[in-house]
């Protein structure tokens, strides 16, 4: 309002000055015989001087009001554009046109806001990824710590208890001919606890291959298991080209599957197969254990669900086949990278039919049923 009044007064004074200048040019220097009729002549109800004064003042205030309306309209247009930019919307309503300079400034502001918004989004994504990596790193470190502590304490104590029980059983066998049933049950329980502990340590091991290939990691894993478990483990491992992400996921799948077999299968034979056929990397774990039927969503089936999810995540498929009292097959197929040396064909000729066990024969019968159960 203050600007409106100031503008009106200034424009009125300007028009009065212009009117006086025009009269000065027309009538000359103010004199009584030329200027007095402007004050004394009342033929039009009012002297001409009053008409000139009123017209100058009215014109000044009208122009002041018109310019105020223009400024207000332009201000609303700018406010609307800024509100649209602040809301992140690309759609704008029909508004009054703005001067070219104002349009250029608003375009620069819009570009700057868009750039800052994209940068903030990128920073947010990077922060989330960094936090996720930090969580995963701490998780791996915690798993390693737990594995070390369990191996150095509980696992060693179970081994010592197993050795003592074996010595006691041997002593009773020499003295009485056979050990007592209670002692045999205790020995069996301790041995089962050792198997459970080995499976837990296997599960807690980090999934990172530490610059090794998946084939090398699987061979190392099977060697370690063969030294620690009491049943036969057979493996056929080929060098299959895979991406780093696929290798890490498959190695974790191998850990999960072997851990399940140790904890639940009660098997005497375990066959592990990792080969390439027709552009697919095939990983299979097959045992002759107790098998299972549909577990009805028991908590123990989390391990097999995790295997399925990991296989899907790397673009593969997972098939789980089990028959009670005959065994279980877990098979994962993942697209392999193209091989340039043609080794896959030679290995295929040597390996035989991958649909069977490690020796080319299937442990399960044709009436197998596919199910996901209590593992």
The last residue of a domain, from among 67, 83, 98: 98
The last residue of a domain, from among 173, 206, 239: 206
Q: Which residue has the tokens 């009342």?
A: 42
Q: Cβ(207)–Cβ(252) under 8 Å? A: yes
Q: Cβ–Cβ contacts within 10 Å for residue 232, how many?
A: 12
Q: Cβ(47)–Cβ(38) under 8 Å? A: yes
pLDDT value of residue 301: 64
Its pTM stands at: 0.48
- Give the CA dihedral 330, 331, 334, 338, nearest 10 degrees: 140
Q: Does one domain contain both 263 and 130?
A: no
pLDDT value of residue 364: 42
Spatial distance between the Cα atoms of 32 and 39, rounded to a whole number of angstroms: 10
Q: Does one domain contain both 271 and 314?
A: yes
| 110 domain-assigned | no
| 291 domain-assigned | yes
Residue-range definition of the domain harbouring residue 22: 2-98
| 320 domain-assigned | yes
The last residue of a domain, from among 206, 237, 255: 206
User: Which pair of tokens denotes residue 323?
Assistant: 């028959």
| Buried/exposed code over 336-369 (b: 16+ C-beta within 10 A; e: otherwise) | beeeeeeebeebbeebeebebbbeeebbbeeebe
Q: Does one domain contain both 193 and 128?
A: yes
User: Which pair of tokens denotes residue 367?
Assistant: 């009436």
| 109 domain-assigned | no
Supply the Cα-derived Rg of the chain in whole angstroms: 45
- Give the CA dihedral 334, 337, 340, 343, nearest 10 degrees: -20
Spatial distance between the Cα atoms of 307 and 290, rounded to a whole number of angstroms: 20
Report DSSP state, residue 283: E
| 104 domain-assigned | no
- Closest by alpha carbon to 374, among 295, 289, 263? 295
pLDDT value of residue 69: 82
Spatial distance between the Cα atoms of 23 and 94, rounded to a whole number of angstroms: 47
| 113 domain-assigned | no
Strands in 269-277's sheet, in edge-to-edge order, are 232-237, 269-277, 280-287, 327-335, 317-323, 369-370
Q: Does one domain contain both 372 and 272?
A: yes
Q: Does one domain contain both 195 and 176?
A: yes
Q: Does one domain contain both 162 and 80?
A: no
CB-based burial label for 47 (10 Å; 0-12, 13-18, 19+): middle
| 23 domain-assigned | yes
3-class DSSP state of 268: coil
DSSP 3-state percent helix, strand, coil across the chain (nearest 5): 65, 10, 25
pLDDT value of residue 137: 75
Residue 304 belongs to a domain with what CATH number? 3.30.565.10
3-class DSSP state of 140: helix
Q: Does one domain contain both 322 and 352?
A: yes
Q: Does one domain contain both 227 and 356?
A: yes
pLDDT value of residue 294: 58
| 105 domain-assigned | no
Q: Does one domain contain both 249 and 375?
A: yes
pLDDT value of residue 208: 59
Q: State which residues of the chain have pLDDT below 50.
A: 296-300, 342-375
Q: Does one domain contain both 141 and 49?
A: no
Q: Does one domain contain both 236 and 130?
A: no
Spatial distance between the Cα atoms of 159 and 165, rounded to a whole number of angstroms: 10
Q: Does one domain contain both 247 and 364?
A: yes
Q: Which residue has the tokens 């060697």?
A: 223
Total domains present in the chain: 3
Spatial distance between the Cα atoms of 92 and 100, rounded to a whole number of angstroms: 18
Q: Cβ(364)–Cβ(327) under 8 Å? A: yes
Q: Which residue has the tokens 């960094």?
A: 130
């Amino acid at each position: 309002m203050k600007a409106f009044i100031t503008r009106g007064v200034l424009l009125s004074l300007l028009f009065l000055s212009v009117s006086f200048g025009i009269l000065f040019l027309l009538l000359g220097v103010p004199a009584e015989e030329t200027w007095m009729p402007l004050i004394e002549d009342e033929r039009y109800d009012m002297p001409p001087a009053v008409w000139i004064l009123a017209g100058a003042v009215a014109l000044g205030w009208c122009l002041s009001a018109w310019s105020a309306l223009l400024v207000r309209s332009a201000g609303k247009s700018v406010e609307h554009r800024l509100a649209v930019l602040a809301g992140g919307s690309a759609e704008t309503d029909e508004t009054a046109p703005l001067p070219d300079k104002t349009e250029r400034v608003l375009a620069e502001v819009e570009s700057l806001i868009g750039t800052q918004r994209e940068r903030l989004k990128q920073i947010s994504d990077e922060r989330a990824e960094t936090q996720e990596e930090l969580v995963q790193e701490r998780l791996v470190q915690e798993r390693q710590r737990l594995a070390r502590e369990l191996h150095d304490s509980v696992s060693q104590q179970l081994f010592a208890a197993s050795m003592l029980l074996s010595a006691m059983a041997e002593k009773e066998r020499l003295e009485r001919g056979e050990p007592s049933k209670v002692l045999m049950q205790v020995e069996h329980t301790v041995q089962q606890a050792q198997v459970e502990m080995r499976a837990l340590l296997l599960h807690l091991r980090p999934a990172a291959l530490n610059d090794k290939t998946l084939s090398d990691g699987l061979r190392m894993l099977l060697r370690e298991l063969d030294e620690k478990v009491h049943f036969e483990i057979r493996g056929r491992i080929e060098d299959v080209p895979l991406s780093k992400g696929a290798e890490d996921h498959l190695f974790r799948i191998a850990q999960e599957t072997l851990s399940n077999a140790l904890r639940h299968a009660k098997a005497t034979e375990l066959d592990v197969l990792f080969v390439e056929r027709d552009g697919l990397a095939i990983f299979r774990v097959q045992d002759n254990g107790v098998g299972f039927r549909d577990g009805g969503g028991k908590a123990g089936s989390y391990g097999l669900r995790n295997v399925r999810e990991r296989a899907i995540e790397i673009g593969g498929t997972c098939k789980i086949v089990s028959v009670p009292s005959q065994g279980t097959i877990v098979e994962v197929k993942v697209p392999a990278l193209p091989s340039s040396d043609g080794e896959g064909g030679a290995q295929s000729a040597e390996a035989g039919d991958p649909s069977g066990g490690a020796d080319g024969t299937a442990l399960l019968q044709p009436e197998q049923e596919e199910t996901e159960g209590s593992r």
